[in-house]
Amino acid sequence: MVGLRGVDICDELKRQLECKSDIELANKIGVTQGRVSQLRTKTGINARYLARFIKRAAETETASALRSAIRPIVEFFPIEKSQVRENGRDVPFDTKQPAGKTLAKHLRAATGLYSFYNSQGEVIYFGKTEQLSLYAEMINAYNRVLPHYLIYRVRHPWGRYKSTNQNELRKIKKEEVTLSDSASYFSAYSVAAQLIGGLEALIIRIAPNDIINVKIEGKDMKAFSLPEV
């Protein structure tokens, strides 16, 4: 049985993994550049040698994927409702300032998970996005009226104090509010597409009594093992 040539294996790996050099290939499959050079000179490579080489590459690729699967973009960022309006919506930070522009850029370039917190730093809403960017989805959630989220408020005209003709106290009553009315901080994480749904379902199921999310879905929990008890 005639074995394979190392040079052919290296060239095909570079093509399949879209590597431009042997150095890049070595980093991709988790070996030294010297090992790649050594492989290039080999002839008559048998199945055992090739299988071990592929196994090493697969293990390295898996470890690399896990390391980059979840990347924090921002955590507990203090919300300052911006006067800038996008289609009549509030924005939780000033996108006209240099720092705000940079943050918006990172959020627009990622999908994943996000959370909003109250003034005590307690999470009140947790969400995901797999199609829209984190920026677009977070702005949507920030402005969305939540019918099940009620808080006691006093409605003053234009949000300012103005006494009534009879100098009566205004009514305190529960009203539907948005996150823009109550959130003080937010966090956002870029997450690998395969993990987004499962992680969101897991976190919501862990803390269903602490957040205002209505749906506690389990369909995405298929990514995890069944409970033992």
- Written as tens digits, the pLDDT of the chain (229 aa) is 457 888 888 898 888 888 899 898 888 777 788 888 888 888 888 888 777 777 777 777 666 666 778 999 999 999 998 855 556 788 999 998 999 999 999 999 999 999 999 999 999 999 999 999 999 999 999 998 887 788 888 877 766 666 666 667 778 888 888 898 889 999 999 998 888 988 898 888 888 888 888 776 666 656 555 555 5
Strands (E), the chain: 70-78, 82-86, 89-91, 112-117, 123-129, 146-154, 172-177, 185-191
- What does the pLDDT read at residue 165? 67
Q: Give the separation between CA 171 and CA 181, rounded to whole angstroms.
A: 18
What are the boundaries of each domain within the chain? 6-67, 70-223
pTM value is 0.68
- What does the pLDDT read at residue 104? 95
- What does the pLDDT read at residue 1? 42
Which two structure tokens, joined as six digits, stand for 58? 């697969």
- Cβ–Cβ contacts within 10 Å for residue 215, how many? 6
